Structure 1
Amino acid sequence: MTRRRIRRRETKGRTCAMTVQTHLAALEEKHSELERKLHDIMASPSSHDQEIASIKRRKLHLKDEIERLHHSAN
Structure 2
Amino acid sequence: IFFWRDGALRARAADDPPDRPPAVFEEVGPDLLRTVSGREAGELLRLTRDPDTGEVVRMHWATYRVTRRQETFEGK
Place the TM-score, normalised by the shorter chain, in its bin. Answer: under 0.3
Choose between structure 1 and 2: higher strand proportion. 2
Q: TM-score, normalised by structure 2?
A: 0.25
More helix by share: 1
Which TM-score applies when normalising by structure 1?
0.26
- Rg larger in 1 or in 2? 1
